[in-house]
Amino acid sequence: MNAPATARAPGKLLLVGEYAVLEPGRPAVVMAVDRYVTVTATPPEHAEVELVTDLLDHPVGLRRGPRGLAVCDGRDAGHLAGALVHLAAVVDTVDRLCTESGLGRVPVRLTVRSELHRHGVKVGLGSSGAVTVAAVRALGGHLGIPLAGEEQFRLAMLASVTVDAGPSGADLAAATWQSLLLYRSPDRDALLGRLRAHGVLETLGAPWPGLSVRLLPVPAAVSVHPGWTGQAASTGARIGLLRRTGWRGSDDHRRFLLHSERITTAMAGALLRDEAPALLAAVHDARRLLGELDRRTGLGISTPLLTALCRAAQEAGGEAKPSGAGGGDCGIALLPADASVDGLHRRWTEAGIVPLPLRPCPPPTTRRAPRTPARRTIR
């Protein structure tokens, strides 16, 4: 009998590089934070595959078929969204890996507990990425499949692109390496094509052009403070809208990528030097760049609450910007080490913004630099 296995993965905040990181090889700085999604893999009680989340009052049962997983009860079809669709994608991807490796597919129940929601609403901390990585770890442990950090990330990415190849995977990287990272994304459309043509095992061990992950130090010269607007926003929806604007590939797009690369590289260098003025300047420049993108595309990145969040941070002596796709969710403020955090939080609360008591994720006891995994057979 396969032993129960539990794994957790942290949420994230994007410091700079939003929208540019969607392009393969373009950088963003992303920070793992100390709120987690926990997934436990156990034998199921009724169906072949059962998905359980604290956001639903009953398990969703799935059955395996020639076209992958399908709900056992049609009334649950509407529930196969959010965290559940990512859980199902992990099970389906690991099923394919087992089949390609000559292993049998094992019945499983995945149970999720999330600290990345507030009163049942996601707060924009990368819950989809965290649940995907935690599920990969838990399912791998349950099946006795040893997966190193890079393999965890790659398997999570392959599951993710079957749901939506648009997002960059920065949340997956933060959840995997649990650190502050300079992240460059692989070509997800190419990965999805390769996955369909050659399968999971071959795609896991193939080169992934564009992918790069570099560990960065957590700064002491500034502190990072997230604030939640109370409004949930969909990253995937804004990415889809951006694609429909025709902006991608335009001269404006190319200029945006160059400016974003400059800002992100400057922030990475400032983190290595622990230099407060340069870090604040990078956040200031990133906010202005996102504002220009918003004006040219009409994405609705900025909202009145996010504008108030940024203004309050400047009044407190720091700088702030939306974190992620915008349109709601979170913004982040950077304050010099000697600035008043209480003053910032008071201003936010008065504006209707919820300060989130988050810190950079404590790093695991061992952190290895990412590398391309050698091609091997899972046994």
**41-82 pLDDT per residue, tens:** 999 998 999 999 877 778 999 999 888 888 888 777 776 666
In a domain, 375, yes or no: no
Answer yes or no: do 119 and 249 share one domain: no
Percent of the chain with pLDDT over 90: 71
Query: What range does the domain containing 71 cover?
Result: 5-216
Beta strand 212-216 with 27-42 is: unpaired
Task: Please name which of 209, 201, 213 lies closest in space to residue 155, comparing C-alpha atoms.
Answer: 201
pLDDT at 372 (0 to 100): 46
In a domain, 367, yes or no: no
| pLDDT tens, residue by residue, 181-214 | 999 999 999 999 999 999 999 999 999 999 999 9
pLDDT at 190 (0 to 100): 97
pLDDT at 215 (0 to 100): 96
Answer yes or no: do 232 and 320 share one domain: yes
Please report which confidence band the pLDDT of residue 235 belongs to, taking 50, 70 and 90 as the band edges: confident
In a domain, 372, yes or no: no
Please report which confidence band the pLDDT of residue 1 belongs to, taking 50, 70 and 90 as the band edges: low
Query: 109 - beta bridge partners?
Result: 42, 50
Answer yes or no: do 206 and 292 share one domain: no
H or E stretch at 150: helix 149-163
DSSP for 34-92, please give it.
EEEEEEEEE--SSSSEEEEETTSSSPEEEEEETTEEEESSGGGGGGSSTHHHHHHHHHH
Q: What is the mean pLDDT of the chain?
A: 90
In a domain, 200, yes or no: yes
Please report which confidence band the pLDDT of residue 3 belongs to, taking 50, 70 and 90 as the band edges: confident
Q: Looking at residues 239-268, what average pLDDT do you find? A: 92
Tokens 């695991």 correspond to what residue? 364
Helix, coil or strand: residue 6? strand
pLDDT at 82 (0 to 100): 65
Task: Please name which of 25, 81, 29 lies closest in space to residue 55, comparing C-alpha atoms.
Answer: 81
Query: 227 - beta bridge partners?
Result: 331, 355
Answer yes or no: do 171 and 285 share one domain: no
Rounded Cα distance, 159 and 136, in Å: 9
Answer yes or no: do 205 and 234 share one domain: no
pLDDT at 379 (0 to 100): 43
Please report which confidence band the pLDDT of residue 328 belongs to, taking 50, 70 and 90 as the band edges: confident
Please report which confidence band the pLDDT of residue 378 belongs to, taking 50, 70 and 90 as the band edges: very low
> In this structure, what CATH number is given to the domain that contains residue 32?
3.30.230.10
Q: Please identify, among 188, 216, 244, the residue that sits at the C-terminal boundary of a domain.
A: 216
Task: Give 77's DSSP letter.
Answer: G
Answer yes or no: do 289 and 334 share one domain: yes
Q: Looking at residues 345-365, what average pLDDT do you find? A: 88
Answer yes or no: do 278 and 139 share one domain: no
pLDDT at 33 (0 to 100): 95
Q: Please identify, among 184, 216, 248, the residue that sits at the C-terminal boundary of a domain.
A: 216
List the structure tokens of 344: 């910032």
Answer yes or no: do 115 and 241 share one domain: no
Q: Please identify, among 184, 199, 216, the residue that sits at the C-terminal boundary of a domain.
A: 216
Please report which confidence band the pLDDT of residue 377 belongs to, taking 50, 70 and 90 as the band edges: very low
Answer yes or no: do 246 and 148 share one domain: no
H or E stretch at 349: helix 341-351
Strand locations in 230-362, DSSP E?
A: 319-322, 330-336, 354-355
Rounded Cα distance, 194 and 206, in Å: 9
| 330, 308 contact by CB (below 8 A) | no
pLDDT at 100 over 80: yes
> In this structure, what CATH number is given to the domain that contains residue 232?
3.30.70.890
List the structure tokens of 363: 């790093």
List the single range of 241-255, 258-272, 283-297 with lowest mean pLDDT: 241-255
| 228, 123 contact by CB (below 8 A) | yes
pLDDT at 370 (0 to 100): 55
Rounded Cα distance, 129 and 317, in Å: 32
Answer yes or no: do 205 and 236 share one domain: no
Q: How many domains does the chain have?
A: 2
In a domain, 378, yes or no: no
Please report which confidence band the pLDDT of residue 369 belongs to, taking 50, 70 and 90 as the band edges: low
C-beta atoms surrounding 254 within 10 Å: 11
Answer yes or no: do 79 and 9 share one domain: yes
In a domain, 280, yes or no: yes
pLDDT at 232 (0 to 100): 77
In a domain, 374, yes or no: no
Rounded Cα distance, 27 and 351, in Å: 32
In a domain, 368, yes or no: no
Q: From the DSSP assignment, how many helices (H) and strands (E) are in the chain?
A: 11, 14
pLDDT at 373 (0 to 100): 46
Answer yes or no: do 186 and 244 share one domain: no
